[in-house]
Amino acid sequence: MTATTPADREATQQAPSQTSPESSPEALKIALLGAGTVGSQVARILTEDAGMLAARVGTRLELAGVFVRNPDGDRDYRLPRELYTTDAEALVDSADIVVELMGGIEPAKTLIERAIAHGSAVVTGNKALLAQSGSELFRAAADAGTQLSFEASVAGAIPILRPLRDSLAGDTVTRVMGIANGTTNYILDQMDSTGATFDDALADAQALGYAEADPTADVEGHDAAAKAAILANLAFHAPFRIDEVHCEGITRITAADNEAASEAGYVIKLLAIAERITARDGTAGAVLRVHPTLLPREHPLAAVRGAFNAVFVEAENAGELMFYGPGAGGAPTASAVMGDVVSIARRLVRGGAGRTHTPKSVVPALPVGEAHTSYMVVLRVADRPGVLASIASSVAEHGVSIVSMRQVPLAEDDLVAEESSEEYTDETPESVLRIITHEAREQDLAATVAALEQLDVVTEVVSVLRVEGN
Ligand code: NDP
Ligand code: HSE
């Protein structure tokens, strides 16, 4: 007896002929560009769940071919050899739906433009391309009356873009904040929970298929920045590009930062934040930023482990919403891709023009200096009377107020390490001072830190990390 899957059972119960209108095409041709981590899983679903997909769409989805660099390369899911091709143009021209899962800017952009010009619908997970050239591509798709869908480009399997675009279309979204990169969340989580080194955790994330082809995009925050631009685009109905996102990655996070965070009751996460604010000069706009952030251990985002993602959305009427799920990896991302494919295919069967995202509002991107957040500033200071008072007064002079200050003696290890340094003498005892501030404007905090650096009682500004969710 052969085992049946839920998809087989659904396909049997709901034959395509029951749902297909007379005029349905015999099959819709799908061109797959890329068969790596995600593309291979899309190929698997198209092949193994063909019956279920046909039942849901009303016609068959036929995999017309797969464009790759090396048709004989190893694949996570192997198709018949004749389906692989290096002739992208011919494949694109033969398709009703083009699924781009190569990544990078070129040749992805040119092939997507070609598909649109040809009248084909396009599905992509390519956030780097959309955050750079999305407006141009969306306009081209709208002009051609076709569709460009991209649910997989942000937060892997989590349905976040369609809810922002459709479900919240009658509300005003004020803030989107989340963990939008699986690789960095995996690395930070491994470093925090198992003491793994950065390099080992990154190697694991690559082996598990979470990282970009060039993982610099993950660890330097560029991937999360691209996602922040796409999220802001949908949340605020206005075009944003990656170069409007303030971006700091996780490569400068040290074991000492993790330790300080942990001692103070925080965990470090790479957050992507897009929020509407009014600048000091009265301009209403949005600040987009990606940076390592301290979250209290009890904050819901602090509990997001491994390569999972979570996105908080705040809207005027809906209040606070949270979306959570697998943020990277082949099968989860392929699920989001296939959602777009099925949705487009159903429209092609029914007929009617494609609907493409073309934001109409103007919401200026404001400099990160206008953002408001709390901070943890760690200083090395002289350990003598009056030091705390002089530091507190310098901070206050810049309009920043302090929630807490905690002074701890330098660890013995640090003293030993420092004995070789020129400044250290037994007569100059030092301590570490950890200051948590109330919310302050980023510009004011930067001025405060610059002033602290000049105080003779401050030996070193060890770290400045933003804090959310206090
Ligand atoms: P991979 O690097 O695993 O796969 C890329 C595929 O594209 C390979 O099959 C490769 O061919 C092919 N390819 C790349 N460049 C070319 C080229 N110039 N000519 C022909 N073929 C090319 O990438 P992923 O599957 O991880 O990612 C694909 C896309 O999905 C990217 O945009 C990524 O950002 C996005 N994404 C990825 C997620 C993930 O978890 N991995 C999650 C969400 C989105 P060959 O195999 O022959 O080298
Ligand atoms: N490299 C990306 C990540 C893939 O780690 O989140 C999912 O977009």
* Pairwise CA distance, residues 41 & 338, whole Å: 10
Instruction: Give the CA distances from residue 339 to residues 42, 48, 152, 342, 455, in Å, rounded to whole numbers and listed in that order.
Output: 11, 16, 9, 5, 58
Q: Is there a contact between 468 and 439 (Cβ–Cβ < 8 Å)?
A: no
Reported as a pLDDT band with limits 50, 70 and 90, residue 413 is very low
Shortest CA distance to 327 belongs to which of 186, 177, 216, 199? 186
Task: Write out residues with Cβ below 6 Å of ligand 2.
Answer: 156, 181-183, 210-212, 218, 223, 327-328
pLDDT of residue 415: 42
Ligand 2 mutation pick, 37, 126, 160, 181, max ligand atoms within 8 A of CB: 181
* Pairwise CA distance, residues 90 & 392, whole Å: 68
Quick check: CB of 84 below 6 Å from ligand 1? Answer: no
Quick check: CB of 69 below 6 Å from ligand 1? Answer: yes
Quick check: CB of 327 below 6 Å from ligand 1? Answer: no
Instruction: Judge whether residue 431 has pLDDT over 80.
Output: yes
Output the CA 264–ligand 2 centroid distance in Å. 29
Reported as a pLDDT band with limits 50, 70 and 90, residue 358 is confident
Q: Phi, psi (5° rounding) for residue 183? A: -60, -50
Output the CA 34–ligand 1 centroid distance in Å. 5
Helix, strand, coil shares of the chain, percent, nearest 5, are 40, 25, 35
Q: Could you tell me how far CA 64 lies from the centroid of its own chain?
A: 31
For 386, residues 6+ apart whose C-beta sits below 8 A from its C-beta are: 457
**Helices 50-57 and 37-48, interaxial angle, to 10°?**
80
pLDDT of residue 7: 56
Instruction: Judge whether residue 85 has pLDDT over 50.
Output: yes
Quick check: CB of 326 below 6 Å from ligand 1? Answer: no
Quick check: CB of 332 below 6 Å from ligand 1? Answer: no
Quick check: CB of 131 below 6 Å from ligand 1? Answer: no
Output the CA 205–ligand 2 centroid distance in Å. 10
Strand, coil or helix: 245: strand
Q: Which of 76-80, 229-233, 381-385 has the lowest mean pLDDT?
A: 381-385
pLDDT of residue 429: 85
What residue type is 206 in one-letter code?
Answer: Q
The per-residue pLDDT for range 127-171, each reduced to its tens digit, is 999 999 999 999 999 999 999 999 999 999 999 999 999 999 999
Report the b/e string of 56-87 with b at 16+ CB within 10 A. bbbbbbbbbbbbbeeeeeebbbebeeebbeee
End-to-end CA separation in angstroms for the chain: 58
* Pairwise CA distance, residues 9 & 159, whole Å: 25
pLDDT of residue 317: 98
Strand, coil or helix: 131: helix
Q: Which of 8-17, 210-219, 378-387, 389-398 has the lowest mean pLDDT?
A: 8-17
Mean pLDDT of 340-365: 90
Set 29, 109, 127, 227: catalytic member: 227
Domains and their CATH numbers in the chain: 6-12+23-157+332-350 (3.40.50.720), 161-328 (3.30.360.10), 371-467 (3.30.70.260)
pLDDT of residue 11: 55
Average pLDDT score over the chain: 92
Reported as a pLDDT band with limits 50, 70 and 90, residue 2 is very low
Atom of ligand 1 nearest to the CA of 69: 47
Quick check: CB of 273 below 6 Å from ligand 1? Answer: no
Shortest CA distance to 123 belongs to which of 347, 337, 343? 337
Mean pLDDT of 398-427: 66
Ligand 2 mutation pick, 188, 212, 271, max ligand atoms within 8 A of CB: 212
Q: Is 29 a catalytic site residue?
A: no
Atom of ligand 2 nearest to the CA of 183: 5
Q: Is there a contact between 274 and 286 (Cβ–Cβ < 8 Å)?
A: yes
Q: Is there a contact between 105 and 132 (Cβ–Cβ < 8 Å)?
A: yes
Atom of ligand 1 nearest to the CA of 182: 40
Mean pLDDT of 198-221: 97
Output the CA 344–ligand 2 centroid distance in Å. 24
* Pairwise CA distance, residues 352 & 360, whole Å: 22
Atom of ligand 1 nearest to the CA of 71: 47
Q: Token digits for 141?
A: 């798709």
The per-residue pLDDT for range 443-465, each reduced to its tens digit, is 999 999 999 999 999 999 999 99
Mean pLDDT of 257-261: 91
Instruction: Judge whether residue 416 has pLDDT over 80.
Output: no
Tokens 């605020």 map to which residue? 236
What residue type is 146 in one-letter code?
Answer: T
Strand arrangement of the beta sheet that strand 84-85 belongs to: 84-85, 60-67, 27-33, 97-100, 121-124, 148-149
Mean pLDDT of 101-120: 98
pLDDT of residue 357: 79
385 or 17: whose pLDDT is higher? Answer: 385
The per-residue pLDDT for range 316-342, each reduced to its tens digit, is 999 999 999 999 999 999 999 999 999
Output the CA 198–ligand 2 centroid distance in Å. 17
* Pairwise CA distance, residues 409 & 458, whole Å: 14
Ligand 2 mutation pick, 101, 150, 183, max ligand atoms within 8 A of CB: 183
Share of the chain above pLDDT 70, in %: 91
pTM of the model: 0.93
